[in-house]
C-alpha cells in the first residue's frame, strides 16, 4: 500500500484541475493507497526570497505552510500535482511552492553532492495539467518544469494527464471520460508504487 501526497495548484476551488485530481485521489484510495491532500489556495506560502538560508542545512528558513507539504512529500511514495496552465506554465500558487523546493535542490546537489542525472526515482510523480486552448505545445513548458521539480524529490514524472479545451469552472463536468481516466491513473499509481518498493 502506497502513501501519496496530492497538491491542488489552482486558485479556483472545485475547478477543472481540482476535480480531475480529486478523481485520481479517489482512484488511489479505492486501490488501498493513503493520500494526504493540500490545497495551495488555502496555504500561506511565500515565494522563494533567494536569500539561501537553506545553503548549509538544505532546509528553507522561511517559516510558513511550505514545510508541512514538503515534509509530507519527502515521507511519501509519490506526488499527484495538478495545475491549470497560466501563460503556458503552472499557476503562481504552484510555482511559488515549487521555487521553495530550491532548498531540497540545494540539499541534494550542493550539500549531499548527488551526481547530476543519477537515476534515483524511488517516488512516483503524477502531473495533471489543464488548459483552455487546444495548441499542440500547450504543456511543453510545464512538462519541462515538472521533470526538474520532481527530480528534487527523487521522483520521476511517471504519468502525465494533460487536458486541453477546458476553460470555465464546470467544463470538466461534460467530460466523464477524463475523470474516469484520472480515477484509473490514480489506482494504477498505487499498483506501480507497490511494485517499485
Ligand X SMILES: Cc1cc2nc3c(=O)[nH]c(=O)nc-3n(C[C@H](O)[C@H](O)[C@H](O)COP(=O)(O)O)c2cc1C
Residue 130: beta bridge partners? Answer: 84, 163
Query: Is residue 6 within the footprint of ligand X (CB under 6 A)?
Result: no
What whole-number distance in Å separates Cα of residue 165 and Cα of residue 153?
31
Residue 20 or 187 having the CB closest to ligand X: 20
Binding segment for ligand X (CB under 6 A), chosen from 69-77, 84-92, 100-108, 147-155, is 84-92
Residue of 166, 179, 187, 193 that binds ligand X (CB under 6 A): 166
Residue 63 or 134 having the CB closest to ligand X: 134
Q: How far is the CB of 46 from ligand X (least distance, A)?
A: 20
What whole-number distance in Å separates Cα of residue 22 and Cα of residue 125?
16
| Closest-approach residue to ligand X (CB) | 15
Q: Is 58 exposed, middle or buried (0-12, 13-18, 19+ CB in 10 A)?
A: middle
Percentages helix, strand, coil for the chain, rounded to the nearest 5? 45, 20, 40
Query: Is residue 138 within the footprint of ligand X (CB under 6 A)?
Result: yes
Query: Is residue 64 within the footprint of ligand X (CB under 6 A)?
Result: no
Q: What is the dihedral of CA 98, 100, 101, 103, to 10 degrees?
A: 160
Residue of 41, 58, 62, 88 that binds ligand X (CB under 6 A): 88
- Residues with Cβ within 8 Å of 68's Cβ and at least 6 positions away in sequence, in order, are 38
Residue of 86, 99, 105, 192 that binds ligand X (CB under 6 A): 86
Q: Which residues bind ligand X (CB under 6 A)?
A: 10, 12, 15-18, 84-88, 130-133, 138, 166-167, 169
Amino acid at each position: 500500500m502506497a502513501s501519496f501526497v496530492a497538491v491542488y495548484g489552482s486558485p479556483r476551488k472545485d475547478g477543472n484541475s481540482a476535480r480531475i485530481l480529486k478523481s485520481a485521489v479517489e482512484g488511489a484510495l479505492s486501490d488501498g493507497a493513503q493520500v494526504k491532500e493540500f490545497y495551495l489556495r488555502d496555504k500561506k506560502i511565500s515565494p522563494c526570497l533567494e536569500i539561501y538560508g537553506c545553503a548549509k542545512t538544505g532546509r528553507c528558513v522561511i517559516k510558513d505552510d511550505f514545510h508541512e507539504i514538503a515534509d509530507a512529500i519527502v515521507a511519501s511514495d509519490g506526488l499527484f500535482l495538478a495545475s491549470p496552465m497560466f501563460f503556458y506554465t503552472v499557476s503562481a500558487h504552484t510555482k511559488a511552492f515549487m521555487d521553495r523546493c530550491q532548498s531540497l535542490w540545494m540539499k541534494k546537489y550542493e550539500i549531499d553532492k548527488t551526481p547530476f542525472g543519477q537515476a534515483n526515482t524511488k517516488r512516483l510523480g503524477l502531473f495533471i495539467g489543464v488548459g483552455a486552448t487546444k495548441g499542440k505545445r500547450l504543456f511543453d513548458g510545464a512538462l519541462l518544469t515538472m521533470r526538474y521539480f520532481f527530480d528534487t524529490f527523487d521522483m520521476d514524472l511517471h504519468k502525465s494527464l494533460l487536458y486541453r479545451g477546458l476553460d470555465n469552472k464546470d467544463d470538466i463536468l461534460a467530460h466523464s471520460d477524463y475523470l474516469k481516466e484520472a480515477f484509473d491513473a490514480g489506482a494504477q499509481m498505487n499498483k506501480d508504487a507497490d511494485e517499485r518498493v
